[in-house]
Structure 1
Amino acid sequence: MTRLVSFPASGTSRAALHASLDQLDRVILGKSTQVRLALTCLLARGHLLIEDQPGVGKTTLAQALARTCGLHFRRVQFTSDLLPADLLGVSIWDAGAATFRFQPGPVFSEVLLADEINRATPRTQGALLEAMEERQVSEGGVTRPLPDPFFVIATQNPAAFVGTSPLPEAQLDRFLLTVTLGYPDPRAERNLLETGGRSQTVRELPAVLSAPVLLGLQREVDAVHAAPPLLDYLQLLARATREHPAFEAGLSPRALLALLAAARAWAYLAGRDMVLPEDVQAVFPSLAAHRLPLRDPSQSVGDLLTRVLADTPIP
């Protein structure tokens, strides 16, 4: 029998969380699943990769999520000439104080939108890698912590686009989830045409959450229970990917921990204090797709993951 979540001290916070979800659904029309995956990623302390062509709402989703959560937002356009210092910051000589003064870069924000990340050089991508993994920046022999919460939303153009290069596997693994927005349905697209888009709406969004409230929600997500049979199910899924002939390599132990964290956050959004197999199944494709290199690129990784879920027994 499913138990409903019961965190009596945080009823107001949970109500605010669902109010933020409703607000995002009113801005990002027809993309309820993608919106929930983005919020799941934030609650699980992960980072989000959005793969799609320009103009389908990737930046709008990032801005709306930051505003409704009451978080400081910065956007960086990744280009081939972007340097690590442009992202991380640089030490500037202060003649009056006769010392170097650190000027923080845009990475020192609570929500960072790394737009078209696959247009940057490997050196700049590597600089972002430390920030994403360690949540700190090293410059001039000094390590500086990043804000908490710290959430990177990166957008990536399709590989066929001019000027793009694939992200290395090590960086892809640092993204908890990957989503694709795709074209809006006809009804949502007509609404955009009649209202002139969502730019003004996003700028006027009120903050429903705040950084301290979000940190409290993240701690409650950590407390969502995962029973031993559920852990067995995770291991069966990992083994299925490792033994599948279509994949060059299966899910790593780190990816398995990430899957558990994402499933906990998805269950929490659904109002439960325990993880069910359906929570794992909901986040599995978005977590595994970018982590499983294909032997034959012409195959559909989505179809393969659907088959893995169908063939893996639930303990």
Structure 2
Amino acid sequence: MGKVFDRTPCPDCPYQAFSDADLGAHTAHAHPSGVVAEPFVVQALPPVVEEPSPQAEPVSVVESPPVHPALSVPQADDTFWVSDKTVRLLHAVGRISQRGEVVNVLLVGPKGTGKTSLPKEFAATQGRPFFTMHCQLVAERDDWWGSKELSLERGTYFDKAAFLDAVEMPGCVILLDEVNRTHPENLNALFGLLDHRRSAWVPLLKREVVVAEGVTFFMTLNEGYEYVGTNPLDEALRDRMSFAIPMGYPPKRVEKNILMRRTGLPEETADKLAELAKVVRRDTKLGVTISTRQLLSASSLIQEGMASHDAVLFAVVNGAGQDVDRKGLLQALQMLGKVEDGFAAEDDDDEFDQPVGGVSP
């Protein structure tokens, strides 16, 4: 049975244990003689200086700040949940990383199951810097590292990407989010970083980029025909993943507690929403699932005074795709109250004649 992260801080280092037993195992491994382990230190990276070319103007490099704004140790979310098996794996990944090894973890599963949140929570419990690389924004191979820019004040200069800082920062946790939404050729630049070489020659920088000690890569992707704009993941890249974690929706009891703790929803209402999600997920004929993210959106509307069934209409039903059994979904929604129509646009016109936000039409 899964559980919400309960953390016990180590008195000698930033590590936060998942349980008393975990703390004991960590202490025995990291502090066997009572010696305080040195935590990962976030350091500024030296600038990359390019040799001036006789055919071109000299290229200067943007000086990195002591800690890049995009690289920081995140705050832990005490409502985040993963299964016990996943907790044990993450504990092992943390131990491997503490030995200075680089680990690659693939996260798979349906939408709204916490794939993007898990690496951030891992970094928070480990007290390590975290960086998200939005792979869907990578249009060209060199976008991983930075770009040459031109301005009147500075002339031609190199603007270094935060991803480069993250790769070269000891102990950094890096999330490669939605990795199959960039063109597959752009992913070729990552192969050397993710295999035994742990390095890549970057022509734009005219130097080799080496993955720092203890860096942990997490990779997320959504696979399936319903995810438009995605590409099949290269099997050579998939093979470079050390471990794979299948992410699923939490049990009803846990999901109810998440809704209550994050939004302040009453227990009875939270229980009904969690039960609705459970029923819809089990009925494969409906062609749709309700994610925890959607339940949280509906809960926010309910907390603003909207009826439960109307909140779910706006958060789930109205935005469902064309292949969804809308009639069956509306029938399942009856457990929250009477539902007359699944489309807000088909409600009585009088309802939409009222001023919105105090502004008359």
TM-score, normalised on structure 2?
A: 0.45
- Say whether the 8 Å CA contact 1:66–1:72 is kept in structure 2: yes
- Say whether the 8 Å CA contact 1:27–1:64 is kept in structure 2: no
Alpha-carbon distance in 2 for matches of 1:94, 1:148: 36
More helix by share: 1
Alpha-carbon distance in 1 for matches of 2:229, 2:91: 30
Consecutive unaligned residues in structure 1, runs of 5 or more: 14-22, 198-315
Question: 1:143 Cα deviation (Å)?
Answer: 1.4
Aligned length: 186
- Specify the alignment match of 1:58 in structure 2: 115
Task: Kindly indicate whether residue 202 of structure 2 is the aligned counterpart of residue 178 of structure 1.
Answer: no
Alpha-carbon distance in 1 for matches of 2:95, 2:32: 19
Task: Kindly indicate whether residue 173 of structure 2 is the aligned counterpart of residue 111 of structure 1.
Answer: yes
- Specify the alignment match of 2:317 in structure 1: none
Q: 1:144 to 1:80 in 2, by over 3 A?
A: closer
- Specify the alignment match of 1:69 in structure 2: 126
Matched AA of 1:8: P
Q: How does 1:203-218 map to 2 (within 5 A)?
A: none
Q: How does 1:5-20 map to 2 (within 5 A)?
A: 8-9=32-33
Alpha-carbon distance in 2 for matches of 1:98, 1:92: 8
- Specify the alignment match of 2:220 in structure 1: 155
Q: 2:192 aligns with which of 125, 130, 135?
A: 130
- Specify the alignment match of 1:36 in structure 2: 88
- Say whether the 8 Å CA contact 1:30–1:185 is kept in structure 2: no
Q: 1:43 to 1:124 in 2, by over 3 A?
A: farther
Question: 1:41 Cα deviation (Å)?
Answer: 3.0
Question: 1:46 Cα deviation (Å)?
Answer: 1.4
- Say whether the 8 Å CA contact 1:114–1:152 is kept in structure 2: yes
TM-score, normalised on structure 1?
A: 0.50
Identical residues among aligned pairs (%): 25
Q: Deviations over 1:179-219 (max 9, x none)?
A: 1120101111011110127xxxxxxxxxxxxxxxxxxxxxx
- Say whether the 8 Å CA contact 2:143–2:161 is kept in structure 1: no
- Specify the alignment match of 1:192 in structure 2: 258
Matched AA of 2:230: T
- Specify the alignment match of 2:330 in structure 1: none
Q: 1:117 to 1:187 in 2, by over 3 A?
A: same
Q: 1:94 to 1:77 in 2, by over 3 A?
A: same
Q: 1:94 to 1:24 in 2, by over 3 A?
A: closer
Q: 1:166 to 1:9 in 2, by over 3 A?
A: farther
Alpha-carbon distance in 2 for matches of 1:89, 1:41: 30
Q: 1:96 to 1:131 in 2, by over 3 A?
A: farther
Matched AA of 1:128: L
- Specify the alignment match of 1:82 in structure 2: 139
Q: Secondary structure at the match of 1:71?
A: coil
Question: 1:96 Cα deviation (Å)?
Answer: 7.2
Q: Deviations over 1:81-118 (max 9, x none)?
A: 63333322234468878774451332431121111111
Q: How does 1:213-252 map to 2 (within 5 A)?
A: none
Q: How does 1:232-311 map to 2 (within 5 A)?
A: none
- Say whether the 8 Å CA contact 1:93–1:100 is kept in structure 2: yes
Q: 1:120 to 1:38 in 2, by over 3 A?
A: farther
Alpha-carbon distance in 1 for matches of 2:76, 2:129: 17
Question: 1:48 Cα deviation (Å)?
Answer: 0.5
Alpha-carbon distance in 2 for matches of 1:102, 1:86: 10
- Give me the CA root mean square deviation: 3.2
Alpha-carbon distance in 2 for matches of 1:74, 1:107: 11
Q: Secondary structure at the match of 1:167?
A: coil
- Say whether the 8 Å CA contact 1:94–1:101 is kept in structure 2: no
- Say whether the 8 Å CA contact 1:135–1:145 is kept in structure 2: yes
Query: Which runs of 4 or more aligned residues in structure 1 lie more than 4 Å from their structure 2 counterparts after TM superposition?
Result: 4-7, 10-13, 23-27, 91-100
Alpha-carbon distance in 1 for matches of 2:88, 2:213: 21
